[in-house]
Structure 1
Amino acid sequence: MSYIPPHKRHSKDPDRPYPVPDSLATKFKKNLHFNGSYSDKRDRVLYSGDSITKWFLIGSNGIEDEIPPSAKLVPLSSDSVLCKKGKKPSILMNISDHNEREEEEEERTRWLLIAEKVQEDLVLAYERAKTAMDGGNQHVLRLVASFGKNFFYGQTPSNKIFSTDVPTSYLHHIKSQLVPRHGFCIDLEKERYTVKVSHYTRPNETISCKCTVKEDGRLSLYKIELKLVRHLVVDVSCIDKNLDMRLMLAAKRKITSLTEKEISDIKGLLDSARVDPNVKGGLRWPFGKSSSGNGYSVFESCHVKATVYKNKTLRLRVRETDRFNESIGTGEVKREVMLMLKDMNTKLQEQNIDRGCVLEMLRDVLGTLCDFLRCEAYHLT
């Protein structure tokens, strides 16, 4: 009988996790019991040494820096949510009645306050990021707004993560309502596979290989990047809305230090992969071929389908991802919506930027972002 990878085996119970081979189960147990493990380092989010992180709560009483009596944390019961140390998260929900007409009239004022609070941090983050780029690093800055939900793992805002997974109904709302309303047109549609690899001698370094598929079903590598480095993260909990928002300035890092031999080793790993829509992540490797004899190994594969729209000042990316972590044998499917603030990003990289101009641009774009936060009730699907 031929070998069947664990993530391709079928189970009578659709909610039951896919079985994990003994070798991976052993690795997973080690990861649970030892801090700073190899897998943890590869998955770690990177922040610059002088990064700025902020959290705001915006509701009918304006901007607050703590949870008000009009809101409460409601635990999520869905099995699909991300647990942290075995604990399921909660989301903030409004428990008070509010006048919708009054809310619409005051909403713009509240968002103008957000613009004023964020302006100084945004300018400072760009100044610091540009200084890092002047050091000769091959960085490309991007300013994006993402939509999703803040997940809280305690009673304080300090212990939270931002989930970018949105309901399928929200994607339909974006395409049918917001795309025409804001003058977006389709720029491109793309389908690609991203394979993350690492080398045992550099456990902190994650190499993302972006690939298309050739006619013979093999992967064709077209871009290699390192992890994003975050310079600014502003999370906004909107208790009168069904979605929250994240504003983030991050640097995409190009790899310039790989030798021809290292690139050849990585391509060898990718050449072993085969596209298979029936497995999580969309890719499979023959048994024992997801690592090379030269120290490189695959620890994550992801199939991405994305549609990119554009208007005069913004780019909108709507995508669905099917991701599989080879190290611990788990996968997830997510739907994500991201606005790339291209004009603001260009303006903020200019020398001697006029801060009054920054505030005006930020006020204008926050009005658009507010429109993107209006959707049907939030559901984990």
Structure 2
Amino acid sequence: MSYVPPHKRPSNRNPTPTPVPSSLNPKPSFASPRHRHHQSSRLIPFSPHLISRWYATSTESLALVPYDSEVIEKKNGSKPLTVNVTDGAVLVEEEERGVLKGIVEKVARDLIEAVQHTKEEARSGDVKLQVMARVGKVLFRGDPSVCLDSIIKAPTSEGELNKLQARKTFYTTVSEEYMREVGELLVDKCGFKFVREKDRYYIRVIDKRQPDLIMSCKCMTLHDSGLELYKVEHKPLRHMVTDVSCLSKNFDLRIMLNAKRAVKNLDADVVEGINQLISAAVIDPEVKGGLRWPLGKESAADRFVMVHVMHTEHKILNRDKIRVKMRQADRFDYHSSTGEDANEISLKLCGLPEQLTEDHLCEGSIVDMIQEVVALIWDNLLSHSTGILC
């Protein structure tokens, strides 16, 4: 039987978990020499000044316990762990809410500090800051190097921080039933309004002459089923991430600050190479990522190659300064030769980045805005039985 590349093999199209960050997996050898220069498949890289925290909504009687996830266990070779309370411990929701309010105050201070490293670029418009919240599950690598003390202790050096990031992931794939339930709840109970639906293709391209610079090409479909380039951005950079294990809930919470930089004044040869890749793409729902390329068209000018493709369909809901994105994503990563489907929910805090870059910012108003979003998530998005997929 002839060999069929992994991304061209048939898929049952059932949702499967989000990819585990490359830091949690040994780096596989590449199937093709054209990918050997690519050193990392992490979807969003970390800033050198990254602020990373982990908290729990209770500080008493905590334990690391196994978390059933067949997919992650296969990828890592061990069952992941999550933080829970010990048997017999009693959680009081009002006490957890009090702890959570204190955590939000710390998150606000971390956001203010993290923005200092990119404030001038944000003001000039060269960088677009995004404060996001996500629903998922905080998971830790199930190996002897991970213990509760090492998780609770805040990193005090860059080396310790890197170790923590390598041991931790935020698992965000949820079920289709949960997506529908949350969408109805937000509209019927929480006052959100449907804004629009989007269908986009994303192609991440690397220039061999600048191997550390990955360009994200956002594309729209044309009437003739081809692709049209909409925007080119640098790979986002993460400046702050806080994970909160919500012990009395089914799900956990992540709050993060990302910076997106638009690519300006591209050289003509770069534009030509990107357009060659995009014009050669064939939309094919039967392959992972939704796109394939004819043989010999996977690169351009022996310089520009793809490292990741993704097709997304998402709905946007809006209320005041909170925007909810409910996304179905179909991905393929050329680094690991793996693909997956994922259902994900994220909340964007619109207007907060502008407040964070003001000269005379008001920490109290920043805390209030984050508290509002966190309360919305705590009350409505963390306790649904249809749950996260395993």
Fold match (TM-score > 0.5): yes
Match of 2:24 in 1: none
Match of 2:83 in 1: 92
Match of 1:360 in 2: 368
Mapped to 1, the partners of 2:48 and 2:358 lie a distance apart of 23
Q: CA deviation at 1:52?
A: 1.3
Count residues in correspondence. 353
Q: CA deviation at 1:2?
A: 11
Mapped to 2, the partners of 1:49 and 1:72 lie a distance apart of 29
Equivalent of 1:198 in 198, 206, 223: 206
Q: CA deviation at 1:77?
A: 4.5
Mapped to 2, the partners of 1:47 and 1:131 lie a distance apart of 19
Equivalent of 1:73 in 34, 48, 65: 65
Q: From the superposition, tell whether residues 314 and 137 of structure 1 become closer, same or farther in structure 2 (CA, over 3 Å).
A: closer
2:113 is equivalent to residue 124 of structure 1: yes
- Which string of whole-angstrom CA distances, capped at 9 and with x for unpartnered residues, describes residues 88-137 of structure 1? 4222334445667x42x334322221122222212222233204446x67
Match of 2:228 in 1: 220
Amino acid at match of 1:76: D
Equivalent of 1:148 in 132, 136, 142: 136
Amino acid at match of 2:37: Y
2:16 is equivalent to residue 7 of structure 1: no
Three-state SS of the structure 2 residue aligned to 1:310 is: strand
Q: Is the 8 A contact 2:62 2:83 kept in 1?
A: no
Mapped to 2, the partners of 1:318 and 1:97 lie a distance apart of 37
Q: From the superposition, tell whether residues 82 and 38 of structure 1 become closer, same or farther in structure 2 (CA, over 3 Å).
A: farther
Match of 1:20 in 2: none
Three-state SS of the structure 2 residue aligned to 1:262 is: helix
Match of 2:242 in 1: 234
Q: CA deviation at 1:43?
A: 3.5
Mapped to 2, the partners of 1:294 and 1:74 lie a distance apart of 46
Mapped to 2, the partners of 1:264 and 1:89 lie a distance apart of 44
Mapped to 1, the partners of 2:274 and 2:139 lie a distance apart of 36
Q: Is the 8 A contact 1:78 1:380 kept in 2?
A: no
Mapped to 1, the partners of 2:43 and 2:224 lie a distance apart of 35
Equivalent of 2:383 in 366, 369, 374: 374
Q: From the superposition, tell whether residues 45 and 312 of structure 1 become closer, same or farther in structure 2 (CA, over 3 Å).
A: closer
2:82 is equivalent to residue 83 of structure 1: no
Match of 1:52 in 2: 51
Mapped to 2, the partners of 1:287 and 1:187 lie a distance apart of 40
Match of 1:172 in 2: 180
Equivalent of 1:112 in 73, 91, 101: 101
Three-state SS of the structure 1 residue aligned to 2:320 is: coil
Q: Is the 8 A contact 1:301 1:325 kept in 2?
A: yes
Equivalent of 1:279 in 278, 287, 291: 287
Amino acid at match of 1:93: N
Q: From the superposition, tell whether residues 108 and 44 of structure 1 become closer, same or farther in structure 2 (CA, over 3 Å).
A: closer
Mapped to 1, the partners of 2:88 and 2:200 lie a distance apart of 45
Mapped to 1, the partners of 2:289 and 2:71 lie a distance apart of 20
Amino acid at match of 2:342: K
Amino acid at match of 2:135: F
Q: From the superposition, tell whether residues 288 and 148 of structure 1 become closer, same or farther in structure 2 (CA, over 3 Å).
A: same
Q: Is the 8 A contact 1:74 1:93 kept in 2?
A: no
Three-state SS of the structure 2 residue aligned to 1:196 is: strand
Q: From the superposition, tell whether residues 361 and 6 of structure 1 become closer, same or farther in structure 2 (CA, over 3 Å).
A: closer
Match of 1:41 in 2: 40
> Structure 1 length as normaliser, TM-score?
0.84
Mapped to 2, the partners of 1:186 and 1:226 lie a distance apart of 29
Q: CA deviation at 1:195?
A: 0.8
Mapped to 1, the partners of 2:206 and 2:170 lie a distance apart of 25
Three-state SS of the structure 1 residue aligned to 2:111 is: helix
Three-state SS of the structure 2 residue aligned to 1:289 is: coil
Three-state SS of the structure 2 residue aligned to 1:40 is: coil
Q: CA deviation at 1:363?
A: 2.5
Q: CA deviation at 1:356?
A: 2.4
Q: From the superposition, tell whether residues 328 and 348 of structure 1 become closer, same or farther in structure 2 (CA, over 3 Å).
A: closer
Mapped to 2, the partners of 1:30 and 1:279 lie a distance apart of 19
Q: CA deviation at 1:75?
A: 4.2
Mapped to 2, the partners of 1:76 and 1:39 lie a distance apart of 32
Q: From the superposition, tell whether residues 266 and 3 of structure 1 become closer, same or farther in structure 2 (CA, over 3 Å).
A: farther
Give unpaired runs (5+ residues) of structure 1.
Answer: 15-26, 32-36
2:232 is equivalent to residue 244 of structure 1: no
Give unpaired runs (5+ residues) of structure 2.
Answer: 15-26, 152-163
Q: CA deviation at 1:245?
A: 1.0
Alignment of 1:320-359 (within 5 A): 320-359=328-367
Amino acid at match of 1:219: L
Q: Is the 8 A contact 2:281 2:293 kept in 1?
A: yes
> Structure 2 length as normaliser, TM-score?
0.82
Equivalent of 2:277 in 255, 269, 290: 269
Mapped to 2, the partners of 1:151 and 1:87 lie a distance apart of 12
Report which stretch shifted further, 161-170 or 42-51.
42-51
